[in-house]
Amino acid sequence: MDRRKALKAFAGGATAMGVAGALGMSSMKANASETNPSKRPEIKLNKKGKVHHDPLPYVPLDPDAVADRAYKNKLIGDCMYGVFASIVEELAEKVGGPYLTYPTTVTRYGKGGVMGWGTTCGTVNGAAMAAYLVSDKPGPIVDEVINYFQYAELPDYRPASAIMDITPSVGDSTLCHVSVARWCEASGHKAFSKERTQRCAHLAASMTRKLVMALNAQHENSFKAMYPIPQEVKDCRSCHDKGGELEDTRGKMNCMTCHEKHEV
């Protein structure tokens, strides 16, 4: 009899363990489906049928601290990564949430004006992407940092861990190719020199600092553009852009970099 009781008790315990195990596995699967959904979330569209822009939460950041981080990040991940990753990393520390796992290394494609093609500077590309990530009105911020890149003497900030001073220059364009050429002319250094590498790291710091200052101001409802589109560019656009007599182009970049001003 004792043996039969023992076997029944063992069988009952095994059944209970099996049920508990099954419930545990079911719970694990449920949690997994919640944290790792197999279906992509539905894309929201606005009234115009365009993808709805839903920014991530933003809190004011220290411009100098993020700029110093950008200098270091540029040296390990190139120019676009230097700007974008620094914003995300700072917000990961202060906000957490989605910033903790955001794949910042994807921005390395922007190095050297997109994989060395010399097109849009990676610092411009990274700043615009970061503005769209966190701002509900990114357009004015993007215009401000791009015009700053074109018309200000940069770099205008010396990172805390910088190893040399850098001669500033006016980029005169959004293009990496033109910006680097203008700097080489102003500094006397070559495009593949260590000085140019440091210049672009300083530039990443300057662009990140400017971006954070603009984002902070917008967050506090005090943003005001310091680098509006110049009148000469507006004059060109009045004829060549939307609604103009010719309407044969579109854009906001400095026209005079490549085109001589036509007498009207």
Domain layout of the chain by residue ranges: 63-219, 229-264
pLDDT digits (tens, 9 = 90+) for 47-56: 999 999 999 9
Residue type, 240: H
Q: Which residues of 207-219 are buried (b: 16+ CB within 10 A; e: fewer)?
A: bbbbbbbbbbbbe
| Integer Cα distance of 87 and 204 in angstroms | 12
Is the pLDDT at 182 greater than 80? The verdict is: yes
pLDDT digits (tens, 9 = 90+) for 219-237: 999 999 999 888 888 878 8
Cβ neighbors of 186 (< 8 A, separation 6 or more) are 167, 168, 169
Q: How many residues can be counted in the chain? A: 264
Is the pLDDT at 253 greater than 90? The verdict is: no
Residue type, 56: L
| Integer Cα distance of 29 and 38 in angstroms | 12
CA 40 → CA 12, 30, 52, 100, distances in Å?
43, 17, 16, 20
Asked whether the beta carbons of 79 and 107 are under 8 A apart, the reply is: no
Which residue has 């004829």 as its token pair? 239
| Integer Cα distance of 13 and 16 in angstroms | 5
Query: Which pair of tokens denotes residue 143?
Result: 């215009």
Asked whether the beta carbons of 156 and 259 are under 8 A apart, the reply is: no
254, burial (CB in 10 Å: exposed 0-12, middle 13-18, buried 19+) = buried
Q: How confident is the model at residue 130 (pLDDT cuts 50, 70, 90)?
A: very high
| Integer Cα distance of 105 and 88 in angstroms | 11
pTM of the model: 0.82
Query: Which pair of tokens denotes residue 150?
Result: 């074109």
The DSSP secondary structure of 172-218, one letter per residue, reads -SSBHHHHHHHHHHHH---TTSHHHHHHHHHHHHHHHHHHHHHHHHH
Is the pLDDT at 66 greater than 50? The verdict is: yes
- The answer to whether the peptide bond before residue 155 is cis (omega within 30 degrees of 0) is yes
